[in-house]
Amino acid sequence: MNRPYKILVVDDEPDLEPLMLQRMRRHIRAGRYSFVFARNGLEALDRLNEDGDIDMVLSDINMPQMDGLTLLEQIPKVDPNIRSVIISAYGDMKNIRTAMNRGAFDFVTKPVDFKDLQITIERTLAHMMEWREALSYRDKLVSIQNELEVASRIQQSILPSEFPDDLRYQVYGNMEPARDVGGDFFDIMLLDEGQIGLAIADVSDKGVPAALFMMSCRTLLKGVAIGLTEPGAVLGEVNDLLHEDNETMLFVTVLYAVYNPATGELTYASGGHDPPLLIRSDGSVSLLPLTDGIALGVVPELEYKQHSITLGPGDTVVLYTDGVTEAQNTDGSAFEVDGLHQIFAGSSAYLKAREGTDLVFEKVREFMGEASQFDDITCLTLHRDN
Amino acid sequence: MDVTSQRTGGALIVSVEGRVDGANARKFQKAVESVIDDDDGAVILDMENLSYISSAGLRSILLIAKGLQKRNSQFAVCSLQDAIGEVFRIVGFDKIVTIHSSQGEAVSAMGS
């Protein structure tokens, strides 16, 4: 602090003022302390209100109009961060106890030993500075927390909330974030010739850097997908763009698929992402083969292979992130791919996209019980209508 | 999560035990870096007793590998449990990080 600490001295004895200024002159000259004076509690309150920059109060107890003990009760109403020290008669334990109970930080006794007083002032000021620092850290934390909440809301708001309305197929996705910002997203893009692009992605790690990485990944993917039709080429392009200047080694696993509603053909490429689940209309469940791609953002100039399947009427494909398969219950065991299989094994051809996604969330939550959620949980379901 | 190290032949073996997830990935990375910084040779990360690794943990391994690459030290991982091997395979990191099935295999590969 550059300005001197401002100390308000409250005493009805007029002698104290010149004495204090004289005994503390070195500290005043050095710019360490400055003093203001009041003759009773009322005057002191006026000074506190008018000056607004008083750091500590040094007050006598017995004074006309308003005594020191009453003043002690009033000070926090002006500023709860001001610290007070009481000057009392030697051995007046009753008043000293009352003063301490009313929030005095310390006391000195009359006749005032100025050397002792100076130590007491320093101790009080040191305590006050620590307190102020703690308060400012708390304020900073609160503001960071607020920013994180904003980031988390942005993350939610970029997810599609409307889904294509088409008689031939349905798509429905949902994402439930864990406590920290960052992580998963999904996207649905309307492409040329009536095709649709479906993306699901999981950024490594959490926090603001991961959230920013996620936002740029999502934007790049959207931009590239509109220009390129082959999923493998899309991932290759996004991978190169993400890799530039990626010193942080953040990476993202992406499954990107293009669906043609006219033919039922689904072509997908995986950049290190979990394989989708295929539920045929007869109730048989299988994992689609991986295309051996590496997560995006780590190694440049990769070629991403793609794979095609044809969805028959009533077939369903479920895309998910590892927040689903790695969800843990209270015993510490994971939901696993088996859990997903079990949800859908034997389910009928009437399973719709929204039902599929909702069912995954319902079953995962049921499995987790009271256990906490460590990762974002995301699921995107495509269903070809009969 | 626990990190220990020992020197065997021409390589520093760093063993990691337990779980590496979002909560301790940075601690894991710092622990590994602090032991490999005292050394300038090849490093083998032994995962025999690693039971779980999240994507944040995988990222830490990439950062460790990147640091070693900068100082021209060889790096490999070994003895992955099935589930961990599966994670490496899905994310595609089996293609960018050298994986050996045992510590012995890793040490002899590094020596050559």
- The reported pLDDT for the residue numbered A348 is 64
Total structural domains in chain B? Answer: 1
CA dist A248 and B25 (Å) reads 14
Cβ(A353)–Cβ(A171) below 8 Å? yes
Tell me which of A209 and A77 has the higher pLDDT: A77
Q: Does residue A211 have a pLDDT over 90?
A: no
In this prediction, does ipTM exceed 0.95? no
Q: Does residue A349 have a pLDDT over 70?
A: no
Q: Which of B22, B23, B59 sits opposite A251 (nearest CB)?
A: B59
- The reported pLDDT for the residue numbered A1 is 54
Give residue A346's pLDDT band: very low, low, confident or very high (50, 70, 90).
confident
- List the one residue out of A259, A256, A284, A255 whose CA is nearest residue A169: A259
- Report the pLDDT averaged over residues A230-258: 94
Tell me which of A188 and A153 has the higher pLDDT: A188
CB contact under 8 A, B62 and A290: no
pLDDT digits (tens, 9 = 90+) for A119-143: 999 999 999 999 999 988 888 888 8
CB contact under 8 A, B95 and A374: no
A250 Cβ under 8 Å from any chain B Cβ: yes
Mean pLDDT estimate for chain A: 92
- Report the pLDDT averaged over residues A80-99: 92
CB contact under 8 A, A374 and B59: no
Give residue A19's pLDDT band: very low, low, confident or very high (50, 70, 90).
very high
- Report the pLDDT averaged over residues B18-39: 91
Give residue A320's pLDDT band: very low, low, confident or very high (50, 70, 90).
very high
Q: Does residue B112 have a pLDDT over 60?
A: no
Distance from CA of B55 to the nearest CA of A (A): 5
How many residue pairs from chains A and B have C-beta atoms closer than 8 A? 59
pTM of the model: 0.74
Domain that holds residue B41: 2-111
- List the one residue out of A101, A74, A75, A105 whose CA is nearest residue A87: A105
CATH number, position B99: 3.30.750.24
For residue A292, list chain B residues with Cβ-Cβ distance below 8 A.
Answer: 92, 95
- The reported pLDDT for the residue numbered A308 is 98
Q: Which of A180, A204, A243, A246 to mutate to test the interface with B (most CBs of B within 10 A)?
A: A204
